A and B are shown apart, each in its own frame.
Chain A
Amino acid sequence: MRIPLAYNLRSLMVRKVTTLMTMLGIALVVATFVALMAMASGLDRTLRSSGVPENVIFLRKGAVADATSSLTIEQFRALSELPEIMTRPDVGTLASPELVCQLLWRRRDGGNGNVILRGVRPVAFAVRGDIRIEKGVTLQARSDHLVVGRRIPTRYPGFELGSKVQLFLREYTVVGIMSAAGGVYESEIWCDLDGLASDTRRSYYSAVVTKLKKASLFDDLSRRVDADPRIALEPRREVDYFDEQSESARRLRDLWMGIALLMGIGAALAAMNTMYAAIAARTKEIGTLRVLGFTRAEITASFIVEAVFLALPGGILGCLLAIPVDGWTMGTLNLRSMSDVTFSFTISVPIILGALILSILIGFLGGLLPACQGTSVPITRALREF
């Protein structure tokens, strides 16, 4: 025999003020959790979504990001002969040599950011399938043109379509705005490789990004690279590379998770307080329920359900309160490449589920002890109580 849910709901309604305040407390905790997780997961998505399985990135051995890697033109020539790399009649071998620099540029909000300036050849767009020119035109080889990620103009002034930008001793024109399926390239500025190399007096490349004929060819490629002394580079799957890059997001997530859990403990204790008071005032009712034939376990379960019903609406309210943060943009430092990356807060289904689980957990933990204690009073004493 189960105690009807209506009993618990009505009991909650009896003490509306207390119930409401407890719910609000839980809502605050859950809203904070959702907002912080949305931030960490937004950053994680941005750092990760740039990789595809069949792409391989070649870096200098020991380099942790393309910005701090370097390789020679001879190494590039040797690796572009690898048979595993795809070729396309229109662009040739899908191996994109790139020179990555970091510009210190004034942000709209006052401070400076390290923006990645990536010198590329047109093949770079072919290697990365998900780059779209949203406005304007694509980058031509040997031009003083810039194509900027769609996040750039909102974060840095002076990069609107058609703007002139002075970089080194050259005046560039912004000819295109690109999107990259939410990835890090949306926070980068791309220009012609050879112009950048001569301006920065660099006679080397930073990294080479290649597309394989099939993702499964990576092991063959690795073996061939190991055996070729002319290459002496470290090939990495692009997905693994971006997975490493998302370290900043993981650290952020762990930190936020810790803060949210601490707040959750506070809220669970508060819920416990509320439930103790609610149950203490109902000792006589418990006695009556026992006389009517409900078992202790049923009554305990019913109170725990009540506690969960106290917490769950708080959790739902918290999720609703946090919805406006979805889509907020923020910039932070990618710890691997030490460059600025802009991302959007992203509320996802797992975050909402996590938030609801958190609120249920708060209710469960808050209700467990009071429920057990409340039902352990002997019937005769319970009934005698005023």
Chain B
Amino acid sequence: MKFLPLIWRNMTRNPRRAWITILSLAVPFFLLVLLQTALGTVDVWMQRADKNLRVVVLHKMGFFFDLPESHAARLKTIPGVVDVCGFVYYGGVYRSFKEGILGSAGVDVESFRKVWPEGAVPPGQYERFRHERTGAAIDHTVADRFGFKVGDEVTLKGTVRPVDLKFKICAIIRNSVVPYGFYLHREYLEEALGKPGILTNVWLTVDRGENIPSVMRTAEAMFANSSSAVKVELEKNIFLEVISMAGNVRVLAGGVGAIVVCLILLVAANSIAMSARERTSEVAVMKALGFSPGTVLTIILAESGALGLAAGIIGCAAAHLFLTSGWCHGLIGIWSSYLSYPGRAVITWIWIAPLMGVAAGLIPAALAARLVVADALRRVV
């Protein structure tokens, strides 16, 4: 404790170097928090999907093959299935494709609320959606992005289905599992398409978690060997699948993160080594006065730890400000709705930062501690 003033003096002796070191370390810490937030966003999404009892039935051959409408009614007869909601993907685009495809789909309005109960809708809005044939219930992320309000009339261009449709916004949903949703009456889409009697997939809710495997098996067996054989997946697995299609995000982010950590260690070690080198004769004097190698080591490590801590705080604070700013949300566009920023990431790195500082200071500090006094005093710096 009594060495604290000395450590402080050492740190502030060359304030320019201290600041440059802190800033050059703060930038990589900023990056680390960003990377971790990106991965954390995926995890938070998964956790939300993990809690529910929903499974999705899709065509065995892939997401984009239609199932006959009659599948929904047959799936409803499986023991354990509570509610069934047919889903026809529409792929609507507002204004231009550049602004992103809305997660727009025709749904069975009667069971929609039961299958997706977690979405919060202000009172009365859902009733309005049910009774309005051209009504749409939209996720708040869509409403926020385009400034849609309840009562607005909106025309979407179909990318997956070849019809442009006009909708009346009836409900705005918050807290749903899938962001960027835009739900419409399935009957409205069916009529516009000329009643093909199709579903893209069917969503089911199961009464209890332990019944899920048997429901999945029964559903797959029910249509096996037909031209519309199905595949049944947990909601969470479907999300995982979509993420894994984008490539090995986790390995990439991890790889870049590891390089950034190496960079932090190198930069910090370099700066500490420069400070220690300039103080060689000082350290020799201290040792000649009777300071033990352990004390010398501790003083240098404490200094490097403090530098790391300062960098961690600045980098993390900057990341916090950036991630919670509107600028960041504007920058990532449609992905902005996926961003869930865990404050935990920041706290973790503030904890790790001084440790990394100490780790970087180990070699210079050990060299200083093992310094032979006579040699050092003779050396001309």
Contacts and interface: CB of A to CB of B under 8 A. Distances in A.
Given A263-B260, A274-B270, A274-B274, A60 B24 contact: no
Given A168-B227, A169-B227, A24 B64 contact: no
A18 B273 contact: yes
Nearest to B61: A103
Interface string A178-218: 00000000000000000000011100000000000000000
Given A21-B270, A28-B259, A272-B20, A68 B159 contact: yes
Given A101-B64, A263-B31, A273 B24 contact: yes
Contacts of A262: 27-28, 30-31
Contacts of A67: 64
A68 B247 CA distance: 22
A62 interface: yes
Contact of B274 (A68, A273, A330): A273
Contacts of B274: 18, 273-274, 277
B51 interface: no
Given A32-B256, A68-B91, A68-B160, A266 B227 contact: no
B46 to A, nearest CB: 14
A274 B157 CA distance: 57
Contacts of A273: 17, 20-21, 24, 267, 270-271, 274
A199 B157 CA distance: 29
A331 interface: yes
A331 B266 contact: no
Contacts of B3: none
B247 A331 contact: yes
Interface stretch (B72-80, B112-120, B238-246, B370-378): B238-246
Interface in B241-282: 241, 244-248, 256, 259-260, 262-263, 266-267, 269-271, 273-274, 277-278
A266 B159 contact: no
A286 interface: no
B69 to A, nearest CB: 14
Nearest to A258: B331
A89 interface: no
B64 to A, nearest CB: 5
B100 to A, nearest CB: 10
Interface residues of A, number: 56
Nearest to B68: A201
B61 A259 contact: no
A313 B256 CA distance: 22
A25 interface: yes
A120 interface: no
A340 B158 CA distance: 22
B365 to A, nearest CB: 14
Contacts of B28: 262-263, 266
B2 interface: no
Contacts of A259: 31, 256
A101 B62 contact: yes
Contacts of B16: 276
Nearest to B30: A262
A269 B24 contact: yes
Contacts of A70: 162
B227 A29 contact: no
A266 B62 contact: no
Q: Which 3 A-B pairs have the closest CB atoms?
A: A269-B24, A111-B244, A104-B62
Interface of B: 16-17, 20-21, 23-25, 27-28, 30-31, 58, 61-65, 91, 93, 97, 157-160, 162, 164, 227, 231, 240-241, 244-248, 256, 259-260, 262-263, 266-267, 269-271, 273-274, 277-278, 381
23 contacts: A17-B273, A21-B273, A25-B267, A101-B62, A101-B64, A102-B63, A103-B61, A104-B58, A104-B63, A199-B227, A259-B31, A262-B31, A263-B259, A266-B27, A269-B20, A270-B20, A270-B24, A272-B20, A272-B24, A273-B21, A277-B278, A332-B247, A333-B247
